[in-house]
Chains A and B, each alone.
Chain A
Amino acid sequence: EAEVAQSPRYKITEKSQAVAFWCDPISGHATLYWYRQILGQGPELLVQFQDESVVDDSQLPKDRFSAERLKGVDSTLKIQPAELGDSAMYLCASRSRDRLWDTIYFGEGSWLTVV
């Protein structure tokens, strides 16, 4: 069964350093999402792509976070500089283009600890 791939699974970084997460969605999925899940809370949308275009980044802290999906396939989420409050799990998800209510599939997530 096709999966959303994410790496790294775990990352420990020092405050003020840069960190990046990578996501490879299910093949052919046009829509890609990055969510942030703080421990004990539900996921919150950071950014949504349709192909290579950003369709929603209203909740992305743009002073330190950036996201790209240059060729409309895989995506990178970057944080620079990292802050203690960025410690969370970063989830990537994807959905096909075909039907509006098609299932959104999630990857296993990337755990970030900022020390």
Chain B
Amino acid sequence: GDSVTQMEGPVTLSEEAFLTINCTYTATGYPSLFWYVQYPGEGLQLLLKATKADDKGSNKGFEATYRKETTSFHLEKGSVQVSDSAVYFCALSIAQGGSEKLVFGKGTKLTVNP
């Protein structure tokens, strides 16, 4: 079935460090790919998305490129801030029979220290 695999955390970085969170997927069709962020005690917020191969999603300094050849969608940020501390979820979306649902990875907890 469709699935998402994320690098296991937790990840701890110092402020202004470079961030990479790896994400790979398995899907039978042509999924859209997403990164969601969850701050402590809150629901999920869409961070960025890409709907086809070679698309780059970007938001708030975060970027991820849809790589069909490696079935990957790695999240990157050049300089993290303390406020980026959160749990990050990679997800894919498959449309079937006119409906669409998200399949999530297990999440990667990021802590950024001042």
Contacts and interface: CB of A to CB of B under 8 A. Distances in A.
Given A33-B101, A55-B99, A100-B95, A41 B44 contact: no
A56 B4 CA distance: 20
A42 B100 contact: no
A72 interface: no
Given A40-B106, A42-B105, A106-B36, 15 more contacts: A4-B43, A31-B99, A33-B101, A33-B102, A41-B106, A42-B107, A43-B89, A44-B104, A48-B101, A91-B44, A95-B100, A101-B32, A104-B46, A104-B102, A109-B42
Interface of A: 4, 31, 33, 40-45, 48, 50, 55-56, 91, 93, 95, 100-101, 103-109
A106 B91 CA distance: 14
Given A31-B99, A56-B101, A106 B43 contact: yes
Contacts of A106: 36, 43-45
A44 B104 CA distance: 7
Contacts of B20: none
A44 to B, nearest CB: 7
Chain B interface size, as a band, is 20 to 34
A101 B99 contact: no
SS of B interface (majority): strand
B93 interface: yes
Given A31-B99, A33-B101, A41 B45 contact: no
Nearest to A108: B43
Contacts of A33: 101-102
9 contacts: A31-B99, A41-B107, A42-B4, A93-B44, A100-B100, A104-B46, A104-B102, A106-B44, A107-B43
Nearest to A107: B43
